[in-house]
């Protein structure tokens, strides 16, 4: 079983290996320290025990990472409610803000840099752990005066700026629940999430820079707040210094709220299972799913993956090119600060004002861990290697990637041109509901192109066929068979949907919705989504969100949206639209409908193609057959179409214009 779950010994002499760790790299790694501490002879032995004895492993992790407790737990893992609803660290009291900020500011690390930020226009700033502690305390005091208390949901609709870190830590201190919202969303996409969570306060900024232009943010926040009856206050950080519309009595400037507030605030002890965050992730149907995460869940999984897979140490600087609205944004902040390392934030385009912006920041700030998506690598490759070669990237120790599957050429470009063949690419795949990775690379194991070494430590992953039994050497479904602390505590206000989504296919098995395979040498590979979720530049968006935006236009009667391969973005959205009776397709209407999606969901999610059709392929019970639509659009065999109500609908897709 062990050799089926990770790189096997037979891989040692495989000609396909592109990177092998040196003895010094292995022995100096965080994960080797953990192995030695517990007398385990190999990484394989550690992986085996981590899944066979999850209670032992996660207690070992909290001790290894130095997680602090106001009151230590009595029971590590309680499965009385079933595998779907585990309870971790019962009897304990803690707060993630204490681990990320307070304990560092109260010790020898107080003068250490916690956050480095650079804006697109060149502005830069940094916060020590003491600075972050005081800023978070002042904001916590200010938010408390605005009525924020334990359990209140607060939207964080901000670019990647220092205030974002301060806001997240302040809300944790108060026992409130953070709702991270993608900074590029339009009003309806933001409001959908705010309404579902019944957010009390929305924290935003006046705007941000993108490609040398100012992008208004407060106006989007205003429109979203107008669509969300529960929002009572809007707190605005000054990023650009521009004039913004103002609603007296509702809107407050950040700097006014924190002015004259005390620099001390007593962080509230929380139950490890108390909600910390709701991250919205899109499914294939219906409204976005609000994955609920807790104080001893998401942050712990983030920090553990960083420590044991990315080998992040206190002396390191971690930069992942992301946004606060995507899982990797909170992952970056919680994980890095828990480990007492330095988090680097960049608020801007990756190739502005020149194609070497990323590489110049790595050199300038001596970044040690760099994570970017395959989509971004594919977009930077055509610009030429010379932009990379201009900069000293010798500070890098680890490269990271997530978001979608690799293809070999971009992977090798990242490995050879950026990492010079000496930095492993820690390929990382999991999800918002996981709190991080299901599978990942390891600093202790070799790598093949586009591969994963195996499951993340503590994750009992497998690849199975239609019958739920393990398969090897062929593509199957990625599943998890055991508990871990980072598992979502269900969907906000919708526990049945959570169970149906992840636990209903095979008994006692988490069904993730990814195609995966394990080769003859034990290397793992991800092959994309097995459900209808669309991944555009690594951003997961459900087709229902696109379709809702389209049918809100008065000209549209029905819509179906699918994801298709894209050489840069990984996937692109293609829309099929049925018009209201009496209306005729036109290029003007096509562009108007694309703009409708942009207005609702944001520019990053603009459809690549939009086709007009007379009917949408559906089953007899009116379910849209997106798998068949996608196959017809791509000109490939659609497979079983016996469930179609009207086979003639396929002809509509084939001849759509």
200 three-class SS:
coil
| Helices first, then strands: H and E counts in the chain | 23, 31
CA 281 to chain centre: 9
Task: Read off φ and ψ for residue 491, nearest 5 degrees.
Answer: -95, 140
8 pLDDT above the threshold of 50: no
Residue 319 shares a structural domain with residue 453: yes
Residue 515 shares a structural domain with residue 581: no
404 three-class SS:
coil
393 three-class SS:
coil
- Predicted local confidence at residue 374, as pLDDT: 87
Say what percent of the chain tops pLDDT 70: 95
- Predicted local confidence at residue 389, as pLDDT: 97
CATH code (residue 423)? 3.40.50.12780
- Residue 346 is encoded by which pair of tokens? 């960049």
- Predicted local confidence at residue 515, as pLDDT: 85
- Residue 492 is encoded by which pair of tokens? 């906000």
The pairing of strands 201-205 and 213-216 is unpaired
Can you name the residues that pair with 251 across neighbouring β-strands? 234
Can you name the residues that pair with 526 across neighbouring β-strands? 516
Give the range among 222-231, 373-382, 570-579 with minimum mean pLDDT.
373-382
Question: Where does a domain end: 462, 496, 529?
Answer: 529
Residue 595 shares a structural domain with residue 470: no
Q: How many CA atoms lie within 13 A of 86 on its CB side?
A: 20
Average pLDDT, stretch 627-651? 77
343 pLDDT above the threshold of 90: yes
Residue 520 shares a structural domain with residue 450: yes
* 307-328 residues labelled b (16+ CB within 10 A) or e (exposed): bbbbbbbeebbbbbbbbbbbbb
The pairing of strands 289-294 and 251-253 is unpaired
3-state SS of 493-531 is: CCHHHHHHHHCCCCCCCEEEEEEEEECCCCCEEEEEECC
Cα separation of 462 and 445, whole Å?
Answer: 19
Average pLDDT, stretch 245-252? 98
CATH code (residue 144)? 3.40.50.980
Cα separation of 139 and 18, whole Å?
Answer: 48
Residue 301 near residue 435, CB atoms below 8 Å: yes
11 pLDDT above the threshold of 70: no
Residue 183 near residue 133, CB atoms below 8 Å: no
Range of the domain at 595: 542-654
- Residue 180 is encoded by which pair of tokens? 């991270």
User: Is 274 among the domain residues?
Assistant: no
User: Is 264 among the domain residues?
Assistant: no
- Rg from Cα positions in the chain: 24
548 or 573, greater pLDDT: 573
Split at pLDDT 50, 70, 90, the class of 282 is low
Orientation angle between helical segments 298-308 and 30-37, nearest 10 degrees: 100
- Residue 188 is encoded by which pair of tokens? 């309806």
Cα separation of 362 and 343, whole Å?
Answer: 13
Per-residue pLDDT of 25-84, as tens digits, reads: 999 999 999 999 999 999 999 999 999 999 999 999 999 999 999 999 999 999 999 999
Question: Where does a domain end: 529, 563, 586?
Answer: 529
Residue 40 shares a structural domain with residue 151: no
- Residue 391 is encoded by which pair of tokens? 């900069």
Average pLDDT, stretch 244-263? 98
Task: Read off φ and ψ for residue 117, nearest 5 degrees.
Answer: -130, 140
Residue 648 near residue 655, CB atoms below 8 Å: no
CATH code (residue 624)? 3.30.300.30
Can you name the residues that pair with 401 across neighbouring β-strands? 427
643 pLDDT above the threshold of 60: no
Cα separation of 261 and 577, whole Å?
Answer: 54
- Residue 108 is encoded by which pair of tokens? 């020898």
Average pLDDT, stretch 407-432? 95
Residue 136 shares a structural domain with residue 238: yes
Locate tokens 């690390």: which residue? 109
Task: Read off φ and ψ for residue 68, nearest 5 degrees.
Answer: -100, 150
- Predicted local confidence at residue 9, as pLDDT: 44
Per-residue pLDDT of 184-200, as tens digits, reads: 898 998 999 999 999 99
Cα separation of 628 and 634, whole Å?
Answer: 10
- Predicted local confidence at residue 542, as pLDDT: 77
Cα separation of 596 and 575, whole Å?
Answer: 12
In total, how many domains does the chain have? 3
User: Is 183 among the domain residues?
Assistant: yes
Average pLDDT, stretch 435-448? 97
Per-residue pLDDT of 459-516, as tens digits, reads: 999 999 989 999 998 888 999 999 999 999 999 999 999 999 999 999 999 999 888 9
| 4: enclosing H helix or E strand | helix 2-5
Cα separation of 515 and 528, whole Å?
Answer: 6
Split at pLDDT 50, 70, 90, the class of 440 is very high
- Predicted local confidence at residue 544, as pLDDT: 75
Cα separation of 317 and 271, whole Å?
Answer: 30
Task: Read off φ and ψ for residue 272, nearest 5 degrees.
Answer: -55, -25
Residue 222 shares a structural domain with residue 134: yes
Residue 313 shares a structural domain with residue 458: yes
Question: Where does a domain end: 226, 258, 290?
Answer: 258
Give the range among 133-142, 417-426, 561-570 with minimum mean pLDDT.
561-570
E strands, 334-451, where?
A: 342-347, 369-371, 398-401, 425-431, 436-440, 447-448
Alpha helices, DSSP H only, in 89-214?
A: 96-97, 103-105, 129-145, 162-174, 187-197
User: Is 290 among the domain residues?
Assistant: no
Residue 525 shares a structural domain with residue 616: no
Cα separation of 47 and 445, whole Å?
Answer: 12
- Residue 429's contacts (CB-CB under 8 Å, 6 or more residues apart) are 402, 437, 438, 439, 440, 452, 514, 526
Cis peptide before 353 (omega within 30 of 0): yes
Residue 447 shares a structural domain with residue 571: no
- DSSP character at residue 253: E
User: Is 463 among the domain residues?
Assistant: yes
User: Is 287 among the domain residues?
Assistant: no
Residue 337 near residue 363, CB atoms below 8 Å: no
When the pLDDT of each residue in the chain is averaged and rounded to a whole number, the result is: 93
For residue 380, CA distances in Å to 97, 121, 386 come to 36, 20, 11
- Predicted local confidence at residue 648, as pLDDT: 78
- Predicted local confidence at residue 286, as pLDDT: 53
Say what percent of the chain tops pLDDT 90: 78
Locate tokens 């609803």: which residue? 85
User: Is 325 among the domain residues?
Assistant: yes
Average pLDDT, stretch 321-335? 96
284 pLDDT above the threshold of 70: no
Residue 127 shares a structural domain with residue 20: no
Residue 243 shares a structural domain with residue 313: no
Cα separation of 499 and 488, whole Å?
Answer: 11
Residue 338 near residue 99, CB atoms below 8 Å: yes
* C-alpha torsion sign, points 271, 277, 278, 281: negative
CA torsion, points 87, 92, 96, 102, in degrees to nearest 10?
-170
User: Is 271 among the domain residues?
Assistant: no
Average pLDDT, stretch 626-634? 86
Cα separation of 220 and 191, whole Å?
Answer: 10
């Amino acid at each position: 079983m062990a050799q089926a779950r990770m790189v096997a010994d037979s891989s040692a002499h495989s000609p396909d290996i592109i990177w092998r760790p040196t003895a010094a790299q292995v022995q100096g790694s965080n994960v080797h320290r953990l192995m030695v501490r517990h007398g385990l002879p190999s990484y394989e032995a550690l992986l085996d025990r981590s899944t066979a004895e999850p209670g032992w492993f996660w207690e070992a992790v909290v001790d290894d990472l130095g997680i602090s407790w106001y009151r230590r737990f009595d029971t590590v893992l309680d499965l009385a409610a079933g595998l779907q609803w585990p309870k971790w660290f019962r009897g304990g009291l803690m707060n993630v803000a204490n681990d990320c900020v307070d304990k560092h500011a109260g010790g020898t690390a107080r003068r250490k840099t916690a956050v480095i930020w650079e804006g697109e226009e060149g502005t830069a700033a940094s916060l020590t752990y003491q600075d972050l502690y005081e800023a978070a305390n002042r904001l916590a005091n200010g938010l408390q005066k605005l009525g924020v208390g334990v359990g209140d949901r607060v939207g964080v609709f901000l670019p990647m700026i220092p205030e974002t870190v301060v806001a997240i830590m302040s809300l944790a201190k108060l026992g409130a629940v953070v709702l991270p919202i993608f900074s590029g969303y339009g009003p309806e996409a933001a409001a959908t999430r705010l309404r579902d969570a019944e957010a009390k306060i929305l924290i935003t900024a006046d705007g941000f820079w993108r490609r040398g232009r100012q992008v208004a943010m407060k106006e989007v926040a205003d429109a979203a707040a107008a669509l969300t009856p529960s929002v009572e206050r809007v707190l605005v950080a000054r990023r650009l210094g521009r004039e913004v519309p103002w609603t007296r009595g509702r809107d407050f400037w950040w700097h006014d709220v924190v002015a004259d507030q005390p620099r001390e605030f007593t962080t509230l002890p929380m139950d490890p299972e108390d909600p910390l965050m709701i991250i919205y992730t899109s499914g294939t149907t219906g409204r976005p799913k609000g994955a609920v995460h807790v104080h001893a869940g998401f942050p712990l999984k983030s920090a553990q993956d960083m420590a044991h897979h990315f080998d992040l140490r206190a002396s390191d600087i971690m930069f992942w090119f992301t946004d606060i609205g995507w899982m990797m944004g909170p992952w970056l902040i919680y994980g890095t600060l828990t480990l007492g390392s330095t988090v680097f934030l960049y608020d801007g385009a990756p190739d502005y004002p020149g194609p070497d912006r990323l590489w110049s920041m790595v050199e300038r700030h001596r970044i040690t861990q760099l994570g970017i998506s395959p989509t971004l690598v594919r977009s930077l490759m055509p610009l030429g290697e010379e932009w990379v070669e201009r900069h000293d990237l010798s500070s890098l120790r680890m490269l990271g990637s997530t978001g979608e599957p690799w293809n070999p050429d971009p992977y090798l470009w990242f490995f050879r041109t950026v990492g010079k063949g000496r930095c492993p690419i820690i390929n990382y795949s999991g999800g918002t509901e996981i709190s991080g990775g299901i599978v990942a690379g390891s600093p202790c194991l070799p790598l093949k192109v586009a591969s994963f070494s195996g499951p993340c430590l503590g994750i009992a992953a497998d690849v199975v066929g239609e019958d739920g039994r393990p398969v090897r050497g062929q593509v199957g479904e990625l599943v998890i068979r055991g508990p871990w602390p980072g598992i979502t505590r269900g969907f906000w206000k919708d526990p049945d949907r959570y169970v149906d989504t992840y636990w209903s296919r095979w008994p006692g098995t988490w069904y993730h919705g990814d195609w995966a395979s394990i080769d003859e040498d034990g290397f793992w590979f991800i092959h994309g989504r097995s459900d209808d979720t669309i991944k555009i530049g690594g951003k997961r968006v459900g087709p229902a969100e696109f379709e809702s935006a389209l049918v809100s236009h008065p000209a549209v009667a029905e819509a179906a949206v699918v994801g298709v391969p894209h050489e840069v973005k990984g996937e692109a959205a293609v829309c099929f639209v049925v018009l209201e009776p009496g209306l005729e397709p036109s290029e003007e209407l096509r562009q108007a409908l694309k703009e409708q999606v942009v207005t609702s969901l944001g520019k990053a999610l603009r459809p690549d193609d939009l086709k007009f059709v007379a009917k949408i392929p559906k089953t007899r019970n009116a379910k849209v057959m997106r798998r068949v639509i996608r196959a017809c659009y791509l000109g490939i065999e659609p497979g079983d179409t016996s469930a179609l109500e009207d086979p003639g609908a396929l002809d509509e897709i084939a001849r759509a214009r």
